[in-house]
Copies of this chain bind each other. A is one copy, B any other.
């Protein structure tokens, strides 16, 4: 598998140098792998720190900036960051108002963020945590590590970020973040496996006429393999999987997310099908975001995230944001 890299070992460091070169509004510590919004800490404002394995760009580094994250900690590809990174980030962004850790529910992320929280608290930083676990493909939570965190992370980071930007206190920011997570569900589909630099090839085999339903964002296989489906059929399946678990009683935010290698042209066509299904199911849509936001390297495929949004969530979603990966209304 050909990649645009030097050697697998330096992929993350190389990318961090590129982020530093492209975004003067970010302070990038390449050695310690922390991306901080310039000017942090911000007096009286809660700091938002997220992080996770690399390979999901623009998540999380691309969401650092005004109205969203204050810092991000990229791990190795598909490997959660280490506690030292988050502890360092927390120290860099804490103004005294405390820091919210936004953690996707994977064993590695949970353990490493927990250890980081201990380190940060030892240094006197007040830490709150929110666990994102929106992926309805993971059923049967008694027999699993629980639902994975996927697309809802964007909504959590956006909405909690807007609240922090407005000066909301830590418990309020954390409560909003939890509300967004509890109001969100996702489902993802892969048309191809992705290739990690370390492995140098696809992480699983997916024959040409088949697709994986219920994939995560780490190149893991899904729960089920089926003969290839049309865009409309995939929309039906994905939206119904979500609506089985969440019957929205308010208009939804819809994220139609590309896994990396699916052309935007196809994603927009898929977004039209998602809208069709939601209309058929009588679910009103307040906002729709289409693009590659929570990716899985070069995987072809897509995911749908729905977040039922009351007026306050909608207002915070619409609030100005200016980051490399998400920017509007400034």
Q: Which residues of A pack against B, CB within 8 Å?
A: 1-7, 10-12, 14-22, 54-55, 57-58, 62, 77, 191-192, 208-209, 211, 228, 230-232, 234, 256, 260-273, 275, 285, 288-290, 292, 295, 297-298, 300-302, 320, 322, 327-330
Contacts and interface: CB of A to CB of B under 8 A. Distances in A.
Given A55-B263, A261-B298, A21 B272 contact: yes
Contacts of A273: 6, 14
A169 to B, nearest CB: 28
Contacts of A16: 268
A14 B269 contact: yes
A259 to B, nearest CB: 10
- Copy number in this complex? 2
Q: Identify the interface centre among A7, A14, A322: most chain B CB within 10 Å of its CB.
A: A14
B261 A57 contact: no
A58 B264 contact: yes
Contacts of A329: 330
Contacts of A22: 256, 268, 271, 288-290
Given A231-B4, A231-B5, A292 B264 contact: yes
